[in-house]
Amino acid sequence: MPKFITHFFRCCLFYILFCLSSFFIPVIFLIPSFLLKSSKLADYGAKIWTKTIVFSLKIICGIKYQIINQHNIPNSPCIFACKHQSMWETIIMHLIIHRPVYVYKTELLKIPFYGWFLNVMSGIKVNRKGGINSLKYVLQQAKSYLQKQQSIVIFPQGTRVPVSGSTQQYPYQSGIISLYQNCNVSVVPVALNSGLFWPKKLFQQKPGTISINFLPAIPSGLSKKDFIQTLTKQIEEKSQQLAENV
């Protein structure tokens, strides 16, 4: 059988399992999480879902992952500013960080079952058209979660960026600056190359090993200019290196 046909069927099988797990796992955990008002239980369901997806990627698509510089993950709550190239990093933090709090767009809440489940999980929803009121809400929620010893995960460019995408095309947004200036915790830059293996387009999964690199934390107290320059430089340079070293 030609390789492209085999690849197509593998991708189809993966997406079937992805859709099934994205339906059944939220259904199983949604009602008890809602009735008990337990984000902890919902977060556990998200971890089970992540394990299912990661296992499916490995067995069906031949996609593994490696963590580089895991020692740079602080023991205290912080903000992870992560490069965003793929759906992969929107789930993997559930296996790396204890009860991570993703900052996500409100549009995701419209997805049946999965969106409902997001509402009971730990998370901060962002209305990108909400202006200053939306920003105030994000800051308030972020501070609350940090006080509960949960770390925040944010994609500073605000959207999935192709591996070849530049910061001119996809600039770093002001949200990460506001979090840095107001939350008084360190920011950990996170570089990766997931877009090479699980890009935005369907049926384009490529076997290999995704690398995710946790860079040294940027301490609080820098000026707005110094912070965003440092963050951008570290994430972009390291992500480019990871892409080139495949």
- Taking the C-alpha atoms of residue 84 and residue 212, their distance in angstroms, rounded to an integer, is 11
108: which DSSP letter?
G
- Strand order in 208-214's β-sheet? 63-68, 208-214, 187-192, 79-82, 152-154, 101-105, 123-126
Average pLDDT, the chain: 93
pLDDT classification of 1: cutoffs 50, 70, 90:
low
CA distances from 61 to 1, 54, 128, 174 (A): 17, 10, 34, 36
How far, in Å, are 15, 39, 45, 98, 227 from residue 213 at the CA level? 27, 28, 26, 17, 19
180-193: pLDDT as tens digits: 999 999 999 999 99
The predicted structure's pLDDT at residue 79 = 98
* Cα–Cα nearest to 210, from 92, 120, 121: 92
Q: Encoding tokens for residue 233?
A: 């430089």
Confidence of residue 97 (pLDDT cuts 50, 70, 90): very high
Rounded to an integer, what distance in angstroms lies between the CA atom of residue 46 and that of residue 114?
A: 10
Domain positions in the chain are 64-244
Task: Give residue for tokens 């977060």.
Answer: 43
The model's pTM is: 0.94
Q: How far apart are the first and last CA of the chain?
A: 27
Q: How far apart are CA 91 and CA 42, in angstroms?
A: 14
Supply the pLDDT for residue 129.
72
Hey, which residues does 82 pair with through a beta bridge? 190
Tell me what pLDDT residue 130 has: 67
pLDDT tens readout for residues 201-245: 877 899 999 999 999 999 999 999 999 999 999 999 999 999 998
Q: What value does the mean pLDDT take over residues 152-165?
A: 95
Q: Classify domain 64-244 by CATH number.
A: 3.40.1130.10
pLDDT band, very low/low/confident/very high, at 200 (cuts 50, 70, 90): confident
Q: Is the alpha carbon torsion for 145, 147, 151, 153 positive or negative?
A: positive
Q: What is the pLDDT of residue 131?
A: 75
* Separation between Cα atoms, residue 195 and residue 59, nearest integer Å: 19
Is beta strand 187-192 parallel, antiparallel or unpaired with respect to 101-105?
A: unpaired
Q: Cα–Cα distance between 225 and 232 in angstroms, integer?
A: 11
> Which residues share a beta bridge with 219?
none
The answer to which of 43-47, 54-58, 132-136, 217-221 has the lowest mean pLDDT is 132-136
Tell me the per-residue pLDDT of 56-84, one tens digit each, with 9 for 90 and over.
999 999 999 999 999 999 999 999 999 99
What pLDDT sits at residue 135?
A: 87
Given a cut of 90, whether residue 176 has pLDDT beyond it is yes
